[in-house]
Amino acid sequence: MFKPSNDNHRRFRRQGLRILVDYQGDQGLQCDYATSLSAGGLFVETECPLPLDSNVKFRFRLPEGEVLHEIEGRVCWRNDQGQDGAPGFGVAFTSGQGTELLGRELEDIE
């Protein structure tokens, strides 16, 4: 398992919510649940985490949201076989476009 070393110093507030996300990387189009989301990135829960440094394109809507978010990111950590939590991978968004709108929409979720 690899995780970023400065978990306690996040730039964006995280929301613990479960939303279906479509994402595309080198392995093709996939669909899984994101269980943590912020304007800076997300965590995708999956039994088949993508390789570190993979570029990924995401599409998703927030619960009861009307905006279809399309954001690019890079896999910055992964949790294989559920060590210390659910298996999956963490992504840092790399495209500034769309993250500001996502951040505003996340602020409206209680």
Strand extents, DSSP E, the chain: 19-25, 28-38, 41-45, 55-60, 69-79, 88-93
For residue 43, give both structure tokens: 């965590």
- Share in percent of the chain as helix, strand, coil (round to 5): 10, 45, 45
User: What pLDDT is attached to residue 13?
Assistant: 61
Residue 25 in contact with residue 50, Cβ under 8 Å? yes
- Radius of gyration for the alpha carbons in the chain, expressed in angstroms and rounded: 13
- Kindly tell me the burial class for residue 11, based on how many C-beta atoms sit within 10 Å of its own C-beta (0-12, 13-18, 19 or more): exposed
Indicate the pTM of the whole model. 0.82
Distance of CA 18 to the CA centre of its chain: 11
User: What pLDDT is attached to residue 57?
Assistant: 96
Spell out the domain ranges in the chain.
13-47+80-85
Query: Average pLDDT by consecutive 10-residue portion of the chain (110 residues)?
Result: 46 75 94 94 94 96 91 94 82 86 82
User: What pLDDT is attached to residue 9?
Assistant: 43
For residue 75, give both structure tokens: 């896999």
